[in-house]
Structure 1
Amino acid sequence: MRVAVIGLGSMGMGAALSLVKAPGMQVAGCDPRESARAEFAAAGGTPAASAAEIPAGTEGVLVLVVNAQQAEAALFGPQGAAPRLAQGAVIVNSCTLAPEDARRLAAAAEARGFLYVDAPVSGGAVGARAGTMTVMASGSPAALAKAQPLLDAVAKKVWVLGEEPGLGSTMKVVHQLLAGVHIAVAAEAMALGIKSGLDPRAVFDIVTTAAGNSWMFENRMPHVLEADETPRSAVDIFVKDLGLVGDLARAVAFPAPLAAQAHQLFVSARAQGHGGKDDAFVIRAYQALTGIRLPKEG
């Protein structure tokens, strides 16, 4: 199957490399960054600087860019992939976006004769590289069948939520409420421990062996302990994603106070200049309020 991955970031690169390893796949990878293209080419993939450069006749495209605007441009803009896709090709859009944007992009795809799967993912960069992501999918039976070989290569579990585009994106927004709040409260707990005089490594070791642990605490707080701000997922991502949570909650008249508070913490970290750093460094918002020193800081 001739496929392409648009967006070779932390998730997209992993998914693209998983596809390269899958039997029967001819894989192109699209990213404007030369370093990302070089890494992908070294792994045996075909690099492309823009979506307009993917091979003609591509049968499936996996989109893993930041937001709906980037996805729309990558698919249907002047330098988009649409003219390079085979008739009846399947678009698997795995961006985190608003449900109404998923429905709009699905309609645009179908109007051009393409199949569309609304398929946000979770699992992080490690899960993407291992081919063990979780996919929250919705789409027609025909679209899901066409996408199956691609999904099999990148996912451990595919949840099918129905035929209507937008259901997958709705589920991802609900999921991101938990993910964002868990990261924010992990940072809050670590910051409180530091402010109270506890050794941060002891805080981590104890929490991860006790009932208060969470996947996000265990995954993100080592970044703080090692002073590693390299963005696997950036603060800016949760400014966006928790914003989507608020939008969905307002649309259905649902109060979401925990999501709103977590959102403001990420906005605060971004306002302090940390938007491009690893999302664990939402802890900088607490540092600004309390004056704590983080591990490995002088």
Structure 2
Amino acid sequence: MARRSFLEKTLADLATTLEHTVYAEEMARRSGLLQLLDARVKVLLLGFALLVAASLRTIPMQFALLALLLVSLTASRIPASIIVRLGLGLPVFTLLVAAPALVLVPGPPLVHLPFGLTVSTTGAWSVLTLLLRVTASVFAAAALVLTTRWSDLLAALRALRVPLVFVVVLAMAYRYVFVLLELVQDLILARRSRTLRALPGPEQRRWLASALAVLLQRSLRTSEQVYQAMTARGFRGEPRTLRPRVLTEADWFALSVGSATCATLWLIDLAHP
């Protein structure tokens, strides 16, 4: 099988990125557990879960929080393949970065390795704690993003008094990134359609430099056009949603139970010596 060129791999990666984004929007429209809750409730609950995940010290409480987040993702009809990718992405990278602490952190010996290295109990405990915290944080952030429409999330952030500048920058970045991806995709597809053979490395790098310059010029012009289009459609700086909601009894119940659960885990962790 012929090896794919740089242009083909980049084009495939861009198409995959757009496909994942569209699929995430589709998951936010499903009738799962978190999808039924108001976006403001999810921001508060999952934000609280992030704070608790960063403060827990005991391994059992960290596993308990991680299990609750996994149950929430499963009940929200998030596919198991996505949950596995979330658990094997940033957490694995974190494990690789933190691995030297296994032998560098002093403490009682746990495992003796070749070349005179020793894994300490303190080092293993600290690496496991960091890994569980990162995994729980990834699951909490993914639960919010994958189960909430972007427009509802921005409106919820603004309703919770997040500064307007921050919300507007997020809104513009989200809208503009798709335009930028389409521009890059068009550039690469145009180059590929005019290429009859595999390009050598130096020629690919020269084309990439010129493409970046063209992309910068187009992006500056397109950014102004995107803002004018948003203004023409009624954008006045405040994010709005077509589905305004009043908190229901189910929302208040979920907020109460979720907050009480996170607080209970945190208090039990504090009481542990």
- Highest Rg: 1 or 2? 2
Q: Same fold (TM over 0.5)?
A: no
TM-score (norm 2): 0.24
- What's the TM-score, normalizing by structure 1? 0.22
Higher helix share: 2
